[in-house]
A and B are shown apart, each in its own frame.
Chain A
Amino acid sequence: MASSITVPRRYSARSPLVGYLLRRLGTSILLLIGVTVVTFALTNLVPGNPVAAALGEGAASNPATVAAYVEKYGLDQPLPLQYLTYVGNLFQGDMGTSLHTRQPVADDLLKAVPATVEVALGAIIVSLAVGTALGSLAAYRRGKITDQVVRVVSLIGLSIPTFWLALTSFYIFFLQLRIAPGSGRLSPIYTPPPTVTGLYTVDALLAGQWDIFFDAMAHLMLPVFVLSLFTIGLLTRFVRTSVLEVLDADYVRAGRAKGLSGSRVLFGYVLRGASLPILTIVGLAFGSLLSGTVLVEAVFAWPGLGTYAYESATSLDLPGIMGVGLVVGVIYLGINFIVDMLYGVLDPRVRLA
Chain B
Amino acid sequence: MRNNTRVAVLALGLVATVTLAGCSAGASSSGDAPSSLVIDTAFTLETGDPGRNYVPTGYMVSKAVYETLLDFAGSDESTPVPGLATFEQNADATVFTFTLDADRVFSDGSPITADDVVFSLERVKGMVESKANFLMSGIEVAKIDDLTVELTTETPSLKLPALMTNPSLAILNSEVVIANGGTTDDTDAAEEFLNSESAGSGPYVIDSLDFASQVVLTENSEYNGDEEIDFGRVVIRSVSESATQKLNLEGGDSNVAVDLSGDQVADLSDDVTVTSGPSAQTIFLLLNQNPEISEFTSNPDFVDAVRYALDYDGLLELAGAGSEQATGVIPPSFLGALTDGVEQDLDASATALAASGYDGETITLEYPNDYPVGGVSFTPLAERIQSQLDAAGITLELAPAPFTTQIDEYVNGREAFSIWFWGPDYADSANFLPFAAGDKVGLRAGWTAEMSPETVALSAAAANATSVDEREAAFAAFAQGLQDSGPFVPLIVPGSNIATASSITGVSYNSTWTMDIAELRAK
Contacts and interface: CB of A to CB of B under 8 A. Distances in A.
A170 B21 contact: no
B247 A174 contact: yes
Among A59, A67, A69, max chain B CB count under 10 A is at A59
Interface stretch (A31-39, A101-109, A230-238, A338-346): A101-109
A308 interface: yes
B17 A217 contact: yes
B405 to A, nearest CB: 4
Nearest to B250: A175
A214 B411 contact: no
Interface stretch (B80-88, B108-116, B124-132, B357-365): B124-132
B134 A60 contact: no
Nearest to A99: B46
A179 B22 contact: yes
Contact of A301 (B210, B237, B404): B237
A314 B402 contact: yes
A331 interface: no
A112 interface: yes
Contacts of B191: 102
A182 B251 contact: yes
B212 interface: yes
Interface residues of B, number: 61
B128 A64 contact: yes
B343 interface: no
B40 to A, nearest CB: 8
B405 A47 contact: yes
Contacts of B132: 59
B403 A314 contact: yes
Contacts of B239: 183-184, 301
B408 interface: yes
Contacts of A49: 404, 407-408, 411
Contacts of A251: none
Interface stretch (B23-31, B65-73, B282-290): B23-31
B402 A48 contact: yes
Nearest to B127: A68
B253 interface: yes
Among A49, A100, A301, max chain B CB count under 10 A is at A301
A61 interface: yes
B133 A298 contact: no
B61 interface: no
A316 interface: yes
Interface string A10-44: 00000000000000000000000000000000000
B377 interface: no
B186 A68 contact: yes
B47 interface: yes
A102 B407 contact: no
Contacts of B248: 182-183
B36 interface: yes
Interface string A163-201: 000010011001100111111110111010000000000
A186 B55 CA distance: 26
A55 interface: yes
B194 interface: no
A258 to B, nearest CB: 18
Contacts of B54: 56, 58-59
Interface string A52-88: 1101111111101101110010000000000000000
Interface in A148-176: 167, 170-171, 174-175
A327 interface: no
B407 A57 contact: yes
Interface in B233-270: 235, 237-241, 243-244, 247-248, 250-251, 253-254
B208 interface: yes
Specify the main secondary structure of chain A where it touches its partner. helix
A315 interface: yes
A203 interface: no
Contact of A184 (B24, B237, B411): B237
B215 to A, nearest CB: 11
B145 interface: no
Among A103, A111, A183, max chain B CB count under 10 A is at A183
B216 interface: yes
A102 B47 contact: yes
Contacts of B208: 191
Among B38, B40, B235, B244, max chain A CB count under 10 A is at B244
B440 interface: yes
Contacts of A69: 129
Contacts of A65: 128-131, 133-134
Interface string B455-489: 00000000000000000000000000000000000
25 contacts: A47-B408, A52-B411, A56-B54, A57-B411, A58-B425, A61-B440, A64-B133, A67-B128, A72-B129, A108-B211, A182-B27, A182-B247, A183-B237, A183-B244, A183-B247, A184-B213, A187-B253, A188-B235, A188-B253, A215-B21, A217-B17, A217-B18, A263-B3, A301-B240, A314-B403
Question: 7 closest A-B pairs (Cβ-Cβ)?
Answer: A182-B253, A59-B131, A218-B21, A217-B21, A49-B408, A181-B25, A303-B212
Given A47-B401, A58-B425, A182-B247, 11 more contacts: A53-B404, A55-B131, A65-B128, A103-B211, A108-B212, A178-B251, A182-B251, A183-B248, A187-B24, A221-B18, A314-B370
Interface of A: 46-50, 52-53, 55-62, 64-65, 67-69, 72, 100-103, 108, 111-112, 167, 170-171, 174-175, 178-185, 187-189, 191, 211, 214-215, 217-221, 263, 298-301, 303, 307-308, 314-316
Interface of B: 3, 17-18, 20-27, 36, 38, 40, 46-47, 54-55, 128-134, 137, 186, 191, 208, 210-214, 216, 235, 237-241, 243-244, 247-248, 250-251, 253-254, 370, 401-405, 407-408, 411, 422, 425, 440
